[in-house]
């Protein structure tokens, strides 16, 4: 063995001591996550315009400011390191109305950003995967003699209808208006109007599938519809069924 390996091995925790340290660190981190979460009962230093019942902002939070103009509905789930901002910078007076509104049951995945320099509305039961970026502001580059970052940005309201699903890494640009139950494919860049019950994909995003009242989904779905869970089935029964299906055939 080399000398370096012996030195490293002698300093590396192992056995019961390593297991004890691991349990202590993991338990401590869970306690920190629980204590640092933001809820209506424990808002900490954040003073939202509205913070609904059952809504939870996981710890650690991302950048949050302008919360006096941010309304969060009931039973929202805000993942770790999610940024929520109203206004271009802290300390601005944005007037009497809410700037950023999340309806009931909205889910924002880890690392997502919602930047509301003007009105942004996310409808109830809209789910966003990790690292989704929704913004009402975009840089302008009208003057070729000035750095882009120093030119005054353009802002347009954003509206996302209820029941939508935004895949991982999706970007929603200023002025976008998504209808009800819209699916945005992962990595898509959405601008403009998107009709109800449609699927969009690409950069820029384009409609690739729509629901027709007479013909159903067009083009047709390639996979069979999932079988709904019957009413009255308990979680224990579902676990038992999953275990039965996973057992190898004899």
- Which residues belong to the active site? 139
Which residues is 218 bridged to in the sheet? 210
Beta-sheet strand order (sheet of 183-184) = 56-57, 77-78, 107-108, 127-128, 165-166, 183-184, 198-202, 205-212, 216-218
CA distance 193 to 167: 18
Is there a contact between 183 and 199 (Cβ–Cβ < 8 Å)?
yes
- Which strand ranges, in their side-by-side order, compose the sheet holding 64-65? 64-65, 83-86, 113-116, 133-135, 171-172, 189-190
Tokens of 199: 């699927």
Q: Which residue do the tokens 């941010």 mark? A: 70
For the beta carbon of residue 106, count every other beta carbon within 10 angstroms. Answer: 27
Q: Do the Cβ atoms of 101 and 121 come closer than 8 Å?
A: yes
In whole angstroms, what is the distance from residue 226 CA to residue 207 CA?
A: 23
For residue 62 the two structure tokens come to 């991302």
């Amino acid at each position: 063995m080399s000398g370096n390996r012996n030195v490293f091995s002698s300093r590396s925790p192992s056995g019961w001591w390593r297991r004890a340290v691991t349990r202590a660190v993991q338990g401590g981190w869970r306690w920190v996550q629980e204590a640092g979460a933001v809820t209506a009962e424990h808002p900490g230093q954040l003073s939202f315009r509205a913070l609904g019942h059952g809504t939870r902002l996981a710890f650690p939070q991302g950048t949050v400011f302008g919360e006096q103009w941010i309304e969060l509905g009931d039973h929202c789930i805000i993942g770790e390191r999610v940024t929520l901002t109203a206004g271009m910078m802290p300390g601005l007076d944005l007037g009497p109305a809410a700037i950023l509104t999340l309806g009931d049951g909205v889910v924002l995945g880890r690392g997502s950003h919602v930047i509301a320099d003007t009105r942004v509305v996310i409808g109830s039961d809209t789910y966003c995967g990790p690292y989704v970026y929704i913004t009402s502001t975009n840089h302008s580059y009208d003057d070729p003699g000035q750095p882009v970052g120093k030119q005054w940005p353009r802002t347009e309201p954003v509206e996302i209808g209820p029941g939508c699903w935004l895949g991982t890494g999706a970007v929603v640009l200023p002025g976008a208006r998504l209808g009800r139950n819209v699916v945005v494919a992962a990595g898509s860049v959405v601008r403009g109007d998107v009709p109800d019950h449609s699927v969009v994909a690409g950069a820029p995003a384009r409609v690739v599938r729509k629901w027709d009242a007479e013909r159903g989904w067009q083009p047709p779905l390639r996979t069979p519809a999932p079988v709904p869970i019957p009413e009255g089935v308990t979680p224990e029964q579902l676990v038992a069924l999953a275990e039965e299906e996973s057992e190898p055939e004899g």
